[in-house]
Amino acid sequence: MKAYVDDDLCIGCGTCPEVCPEVFHMTDDGIAHAINTDIPDDVLGNAKEACESCPVDAIDIDD
Ligand code: F3S
């Protein structure tokens, strides 16, 4: 599974890298980016939690 951040929606709240730093990081332009490789199994739960915690629903996780 992979995670995607919609950079038009992200407001840079910083929650996703706090909840799952293995998958999300903040860029210099103040929005989040996700790793572009598969989410490691051991952090998948945290990645889903980050997705659910985003206040503007900017994160998608798909197969
Ligand atoms: Fe942006 Fe949502 Fe993460 S607003 S910083 S994608 S929690």
**Ligand 1 centroid to residue 8 C-alpha, Å:** 11
| Per-residue model confidence as pLDDT tens digits over 2-41 | 999 999 999 999 999 999 999 999 999 999 999 999 999 9
What the block records as the tokens of 58 is: 């900017």
| pTM of the full structure | 0.95
Whether residue 45 has its Cβ less than 6 Å from ligand 1: no
**Ligand 1 centroid to residue 10 C-alpha, Å:** 5
The yes/no answer to whether this complex scores an ipTM above 0.85 is yes
Cα of first residue to Cα of last residue in the chain, in angstroms, is 4
Distance of CA 26 to the CA centre of its chain: 9
Whether residue 9 has its Cβ less than 6 Å from ligand 1: no
Closest CA to 9 of 62, 52, 59, 61: 59
Secondary structure percentages of the chain, helix, strand, coil, to 5: 30, 20, 50
